[in-house]
Amino acid sequence: MTPRIAADEARDILPASTPQERLRNFCIIAHIDHGKSTLADRMLQITGVVDERAMRAQYLDRMDIERERGITVKSQAVRMPWQVDGTNYALNMIDTPGHVDFTYEVSRSLAACEGAILLVDAAQGIEAQTLANLYLAMENDLTIIPVLNKIDLPGAEPEKYAAEIGQLVGVEPDQVLRVSGKTGVGVEDLLDHVVRTLPSPTGEPDAPCRAMIFDSVYDTYRGVVTYIRVIDGYLKSRDRIDMMSTGAHHELLEIGVSSPEPHKTPGIGPGEVGYLITGVKDVRQSKVGDTITTSIRGATEALEGYADPKPMVYSGLFPIDGSDYPVLRDALDKLKLNDAALNYEPETSTALGFGFRVGFLGLLHLEIIRERLEREFNLDLISTAPSVVYQVVMEDGTEIEVLNPSDFPEGKVREISEPMTKATILVPSEFIGSVMELCQSKRGNLGGMDYLSEDRVELRYTLPLAEIVFDFFDQLKSKTRGYASLDYDISGSQVADLVKVDMLLQSEPVDAFSAIVHREKAYSYGVEMAGKLKKLIPRQQFEVPIQAAIGARIIARENIRAMRKDVLSKCYGGDISRKRKLLEKQKEGKKRMKNIGSVEVPQEAFIAALSSDDGDMPKDSKKK
Amino acid sequence: MSDRHRERDLSVYVHVPFCAVRCGYCDFNTYTATELGGGGSQAEYPSHAMAEMDLTLADDRAAGYDYDRVGTVFFGGGTPTLLPADELVAMLAHLRGLIPLAEGAEVSTEANPDSVTEESLQQLADGGITRVSFGMQSAVRSVLRTLGRTHDPERVPQAVAWAREAGLDVSLDLIYGTPGETLADVETSVKAALACGVDHMSAYSLIIEGNTAMARQLRRGELEAPDPDDMADKYELVDDLASADGLTWYEVSNWARTPAQRSRHNLAYWRGSDWWGIGPGAHRHRDGLRSWNVKHPSRYATTLAEGALPVADSEQVSSQDRLVERIMLELRIIDGLAVDEVPEQTRPMLEVHRERGHLDADALAAGRAVLTREGRLLADAVIRDLVP
């Protein structure tokens, strides 16, 4: 395919001097594996910004983890030239994070665009998270271009899904474009369509500069690279800039656009998208959603929509080998440079030793961080069951925020509130009954139900976040044979009858196993956990009672009988070396045990006991 | 350096690596073929063993170790009594020609009840063997069958009687915990052993090693895996019955009527003496240097034919390892371990184990860590707590 214009011939669409009517800013809303990256690659190729040889498959997803899991966490922007009816245009494609935990980041990416391509796999139909992002885009008044992808697949049902998304977006099924990112079919038409149907930006060129940060990435060599969308005015390479949320001043070291490699430019004009580098080393100094203005003749009013990312899910991370604690600390410090939402504090657990209490945006965020710690920093970690943030009001009116079940206050509690979510579940209609049953058992309240098509239903529930982070998604998947997809958004809180259940080994509480649960579920939690521990903890030289307790009241108990035999019966001349080596090996193994009182618990037992809810997030809620 | 050793007795272990049949639980270095290539056959074995004795003596002398006498000899296997009695006697005679036997030396051989006769036992006794240890294993036919043992249980009292008539001390070996064996079976076996009037008995819990026929049966689900609680019950039953008959434990798996009837050869292992290991795969120990022979009789034979010791490998036991071994071995015997042998860092565990009933309170008060019966069953756990 030959590009319509060579990237360097487009003199009339140079950065900082392209009129707004020649600009189009868009993003792609898609579920993972619906082919967003492949389509983006094809666009880069067709517009000529990346030649075939330099084409790395899925150019935009840079991190290995993202590529492996097929998800995009960090968005970037690419400027592409495109010609329609003899006029040159500059298109900015903004890559959005595709995940439920990153709703805020998604909303900022959307705010940087005038339009969105809604990309749906023609063999699978729309998924809950895509729907959620679509609603978000519509709330932001974005123009939506509905597109079916993978029309070349044998299993594609373009008619069926065109009707489904046409109904969602409010267009006729025949207005839904059809492309194949893989073969390139329909992609040129799509680009033409972007130019023809998306509005151009309408910022004030003469107003003081206001640019919104929609992404911020730490780079080892260059420090933080900040991606911005200029709304009003101009940002020039010699400007000093201010971050409006903090009032911090920064020198601009570099400003430019990516296409997709960074190119320095003299500035960025209204409606344009680009990057800047100031030399800061921590993404916290360049926060997503913040407004940048010039230090001299700067704007006085920031753009709307800025929020500080707030952790919703907490988990304790502990190195299996206690001597790895400093490695874990350094690793978290490094990851934090690139993740403004990550926060942590040292935590000491009697059971697990030294570690960190880490706050995450959600379960996926947790999983990504954990995996990066293990992979990039070679750490073996135990993570405690994820817990949410509870607001506890004591009898005397004192309010306590509880991030960790082991910090649950001892005294008289007046009330406890827990965070709630608004959840959207898309499911084939045959599973409505089982999904409702599940939501009921998870203390959910049905808010509404709509048929997307004849056989697909959207169910809306309010559900406690704690239930979602427990094992909701796994159960939802198993009850719907993998067909259900889930999206949720934090929404308010409710007072609930919650209690803390402690697990005791030989009357010693094991902090890592404490949990805050609804009173009605305390008993079953206790019984299940006690049974699990009985299976996982090897017999000791003495009897070990396992108890589950609410305060001083025992609600469940099990007993690990004392081990009676631990001796090799033969030890003669030829056995001595072997036996000594075996003993040393056993002794080594013993060092890897954690001591709860005098009970030796193998690490594996903690891992297994804590992995009941291994927190699989809606990352693969696709049809099988 | 050698002074200390001159006045100590040497023990000699002779490994006879042949059996008529291999038992299903056996992972010892043993062969059922009588003809092995390269001079490794059963018939040529005694001459190789004697050649190894010569080379070992020379090796000791070259290193400055010159033993005055041999305190104990043990023919083990395999089945030593598969060899004609005169060959065992000849090997013993060869050894005495190199280093004299101490007065009252203990010379044992292992034997299968069906590989001996009245005559062969008499011949052994006449040739200087003083003690025979029969692999009885069980008195219950079904248990013997599971173990793959071919002897008739009624053969045991007969063999014991012949041995005693020949003037030999007799020990019986039992195995408990065979899949399918009941407590009543164990009782039958122990009582049958004691009824033979022996003064020494060993009883081992069956250990199914990974590379045995039995392990394969277990993996195929043809046998039920041993249950540690059941093993403990059986051990206690063995100990009860032996005690009632007047035998006292002196090592975790060994009982004797009087201290004089304990196996001095085995005590030599447990007390860290020096010993030769003659025969394929045999282990030797000299003043902290452990070495072991190549396992296959053919390779063993060809190496010796070249005039070299058939050593596969060796290790120098460090002082730290030595401490571990002392704790590991001495704690298993009735004299126990002197409290001041226990490293300071783990010494507090002695009290813990006394409280848990694993160590005898009186002995501990007198400065020795001695296992109680409960403690014997948990010996490895106690040992792990005491090694640094």
**From the candidates B73, B171, B283, which should be mutated to test the interface with A, based on the most A CB atoms within 10 A?**
B283
* Pairwise pLDDT comparison (A48 vs B348), residue with the higher score: B348
* Pairwise pLDDT comparison (A259 vs A612), residue with the higher score: A259
Distance between CA A400 and CA A409 in Å, rounded? 8
Reduced to 3 states, what is the DSSP secondary structure of residue A115?
Answer: strand
Reduced to 3 states, what is the DSSP secondary structure of residue B174?
Answer: strand
Q: What is the mean pLDDT of residues B76-87?
A: 93
Contact A573 B231 (CB under 8 A): no
A185 CB contacts (<8 Å, ≥6 apart)? Answer: A151, A152, A178, A179
Confidence at residue A340, expressed as pLDDT on a 0 to 100 scale:
81
List strand residue ranges (DSSP E) for A175-329, in order. 177-178, 210-219, 223-232, 235-236, 240-243, 249-251, 254-258, 262-264, 267-268, 273-277, 291-294, 313-319
Distance between CA A201 and CA A114 in Å, rounded? 7
Nearest residue of B to residue A561, measured between CA atoms: B229
pLDDT digit string, tens, across residues B104-133 = 999 999 999 999 999 999 999 999 999 999
Percent of chain A residues topping a pLDDT of 90 = 57
B277 closest CB neighbour out of A569, A573, A584:
A573
Q: Quick check: B2 pLDDT over 60?
A: no
Distance between CA A573 and CA A571 in Å, rounded? 7
Q: What is the mean pLDDT of residues A600-621?
A: 60
Contact A567 B270 (CB under 8 A): no
In the sheet with B131-137, reading across from the earlier edge strand, the strands are: B248-251, B254-256, B200-205, B169-176, B131-137, B101-111, B70-77, B10-16, B274-278, B283-286, B289-293, B311-316
Q: How confident is the model at residue B151 (pLDDT cuts 50, 70, 90)?
A: confident
Residues of A in contact with B281 (CB under 8 A): 574
Rank A463-477, A606-620, B65-79 by mean pLDDT and report only the highest. Answer: B65-79
**From the candidates B28, B75, B110, B269, which should be mutated to test the interface with A, based on the most A CB atoms within 10 A?**
B269
Contact A565 B205 (CB under 8 A): yes
Confidence at residue A284, expressed as pLDDT on a 0 to 100 scale:
85
Residues of B in contact with A542 (CB under 8 A): 356
Contact B232 A570 (CB under 8 A): no
A571 closest CB neighbour out of B283, B321, B332:
B332
Distance between CA A621 and CA A488 in Å, rounded? 14
Do the beta carbons of residue B309 and residue B51 sit within 8 Å? no
B380 closest CB neighbour out of A564, A568, A574:
A568
Contact A563 B228 (CB under 8 A): yes
Angle of CA points B278, B267, B349, to nearest 5°: 125
Q: How many CB pairs below 8 Å do chains A and B form together?
A: 93
Confidence at residue A49, expressed as pLDDT on a 0 to 100 scale:
84
pLDDT digit string, tens, across residues A227-239 = 999 999 999 999 9
**From the candidates A563, A571, A575, A598, which should be mutated to test the interface with B, based on the most B CB atoms within 10 A?**
A571
Identify the structural domains of chain B with CATH numbers, from first to last. Answer: 4-270 (3.20.20.70), 320-386 (no CATH)
Percent of chain B residues topping a pLDDT of 70 = 97
- The tokens describing A98, both together, are 């595709």
Distance between CA A500 and CA A487 in Å, rounded? 28
> How far B119 CA sits from the closest chain A CA (Å)?
30
Longest dimension (CA), chain B: 59
Rank A213-217, B78-82, B277-281 by mean pLDDT and report only the highest. Answer: B277-281
Confidence at residue A615, expressed as pLDDT on a 0 to 100 scale:
34
Buried residues in B189-219 as b, exposed as e (16+ CB within 10 A): bbebbbebebbbbbbbbbbbeeebebbeebe
Contact A587 B384 (CB under 8 A): yes
> How far B235 CA sits from the closest chain A CA (Å)?
9
Residues of B in contact with A573 (CB under 8 A): 13, 269, 275, 277, 283, 285
Q: How confident is the model at residue A471 (pLDDT cuts 50, 70, 90)?
A: confident
Q: How many whole angstroms from its chain centre is CA A86?
A: 42
Nearest CA-CA partner of A463 in A418, A422, A406, A506: A422
Buried residues in B68-100 as b, exposed as e (16+ CB within 10 A): ebbbbbbbbbbbbbbbebebbbbbbebbbeebe
Count Cβ atoms below 10 Å from residue A63 Cβ, excluding itself.
16
Nearest residue of B to residue A586, measured between CA atoms: B384
Contact A586 B384 (CB under 8 A): yes
Do the beta carbons of residue A131 and residue A102 sit within 8 Å? no
Contact B228 A568 (CB under 8 A): no
A579 closest CB neighbour out of B229, B317, B328:
B328
Q: What is the mean pLDDT of residues A613-621?
A: 36
Q: What is the mean pLDDT of residues B343-367?
A: 96
Q: Quick check: B384 pLDDT over 80?
A: yes
Whole-angstrom CA distances from B204 to A418, B251, B254 are 60, 11, 9
Q: Give the CA radius of gyration of chain A.
A: 28
For B260, phi and psi rounded to 5 degrees?
A: -65, -20
Rank A1-5, A618-622, B153-157 by mean pLDDT and report only the highest. Answer: B153-157
Confidence at residue B116, expressed as pLDDT on a 0 to 100 scale:
95
Residues of B with CB under 8 A from a CB of A: 13, 203-205, 207, 228-229, 231-232, 235, 252-253, 266, 269-270, 275, 277, 281-283, 285, 290, 292, 315, 317, 321, 324-325, 328-329, 332, 356, 358, 374, 376-381, 383-384, 387
Contact B283 A584 (CB under 8 A): no
- The tokens describing A46, both together, are 């067709």
pLDDT digit string, tens, across residues A562-576 = 999 999 888 898 899
Do the beta carbons of residue B300 and residue B294 sit within 8 Å? yes
The DSSP line for A380-440 is -EEEPPPEE-EEEEETTS-EEEESSGGG---S-EEEEEEEEEEEEEEEEGGGHHHHHHHHH
B328 closest CB neighbour out of A541, A565, A580:
A580
Q: Quick check: A72 pLDDT over 50?
A: no
Distance between CA A248 and CA B229 in Å, rounded? 71
Nearest residue of A to residue B229, measured between CA atoms: A564
Q: How confident is the model at residue A6 (pLDDT cuts 50, 70, 90)?
A: low
Contact A583 B380 (CB under 8 A): yes
Count Cβ atoms below 10 Å from residue B28 Cβ, excluding itself.
17
Distance between CA B367 and CA B373 in Å, rounded? 19
Contact A541 B285 (CB under 8 A): no
Q: Quick check: B281 pLDDT over 70?
A: yes
> How far B380 CA sits from the closest chain A CA (Å)?
5
Contact A571 B277 (CB under 8 A): no
Q: What is the mean pLDDT of residues A426-434?
A: 94
Do the beta carbons of residue B76 and residue B83 sit within 8 Å? no
Angle of CA points A393, A312, A139, to nearest 5°: 115
Whole-angstrom CA distances from A477 to A106, A470, A616, B7, B339 are 25, 14, 10, 78, 61
Whole-angstrom CA distances from A10 to A25, A51, A274, B37 are 18, 17, 17, 87
Reduced to 3 states, what is the DSSP secondary structure of residue A320?
Answer: coil
Residues of A in contact with B230 (CB under 8 A): none
The DSSP line for A230-256 is EEES-EETT-EEEETTT--EEE--EEE
Q: Quick check: A368 pLDDT over 90?
A: no
Residues of A in contact with B379 (CB under 8 A): 566-567
Contact A574 B325 (CB under 8 A): no
Percent of chain A residues topping a pLDDT of 70 = 92
Distance between CA A96 and CA A138 in Å, rounded? 15
Q: How confident is the model at residue B5 (pLDDT cuts 50, 70, 90)?
A: very low
- The tokens describing A335, both together, are 């990851």
Q: What is the mean pLDDT of residues B225-249?
A: 96
Q: How confident is the model at residue A539 (pLDDT cuts 50, 70, 90)?
A: very high
Alpha helices in B196-296 (DSSP H): 213-219, 228-244, 264-270
> How far A511 CA sits from the closest chain B CA (Å)?
26
End-to-end, the C-alpha distance of chain B in Å comes to 28
B387 closest CB neighbour out of A563, A571, A583:
A583
Residues of A with CB under 8 A from a CB of B: 541-542, 561, 563-574, 576-577, 579-580, 583-584, 586-587, 590
Q: CA B189, B191, B196, B197 torsion: positive or negative? A: positive
Q: Helix, strand, coil % (nearest 5) of chain A?
A: 30, 35, 35
Q: What is the mean pLDDT of residues A49-53?
A: 72
Assessment of whether the complete model's pTM goes beyond 0.80: no
> How far B332 CA sits from the closest chain A CA (Å)?
9
Percent of chain B residues topping a pLDDT of 90 = 83
Residues of A in contact with B277 (CB under 8 A): 573-574
- Which amino acid would we find at residue B373? R
Q: Quick check: A623 pLDDT over 50?
A: no
Angle of CA points A49, A288, A341, to nearest 5°: 115
**From the candidates B252, B254, B330, B358, which should be mutated to test the interface with A, based on the most A CB atoms within 10 A?**
B252
Alpha helices in A246-316 (DSSP H): none
Q: Quick check: A8 pLDDT over 70?
A: no
Beta partners for A2?
none
Whole-angstrom CA distances from A123 to A132, A153, A486 are 20, 7, 19
Confidence at residue B273, expressed as pLDDT on a 0 to 100 scale:
94
Q: What is the mean pLDDT of chain B?
A: 93
Residue linked to tokens 């049974």: A531
Contact B377 A564 (CB under 8 A): yes
Rank A50-64, A197-211, B208-222 by mean pLDDT and report only the highest. Answer: A197-211
Beta partners for A225?
A217, A277
For B357, phi and psi rounded to 5 degrees?
A: 85, 20
Distance between CA A570 and CA B263 in Å, rounded? 14
- The two beta strands, A240-243 and A273-277, are unpaired
Q: Quick check: B252 pLDDT over 70?
A: yes
Contact B252 A567 (CB under 8 A): yes
pLDDT digit string, tens, across residues B283-322 = 999 999 999 999 999 999 999 999 999 999 999 999 999 9
Q: What is the mean pLDDT of residues A613-623?
A: 35
Do the beta carbons of residue A403 and residue A332 sit within 8 Å? no
Residues of B in contact with A584 (CB under 8 A): 324
Q: What is the mean pLDDT of residues A488-511?
A: 92
Q: What is the mean pLDDT of residues B199-220?
A: 91
Q: Give the CA radius of gyration of chain B.
A: 21
A569 closest CB neighbour out of B253, B317, B381:
B253
Confidence at residue A622, expressed as pLDDT on a 0 to 100 scale:
31
Q: What is the mean pLDDT of residues B356-366?
A: 97
Q: Quick check: A63 pLDDT over 70?
A: no
**Of the candidate ranges A184-193, A325-334, A465-474, the one whose mean pLDDT is the lowest:** A465-474
* Pairwise pLDDT comparison (A507 vs A76), residue with the higher score: A507
Nearest residue of B to residue A576, measured between CA atoms: B325
Confidence at residue B7, expressed as pLDDT on a 0 to 100 scale:
53
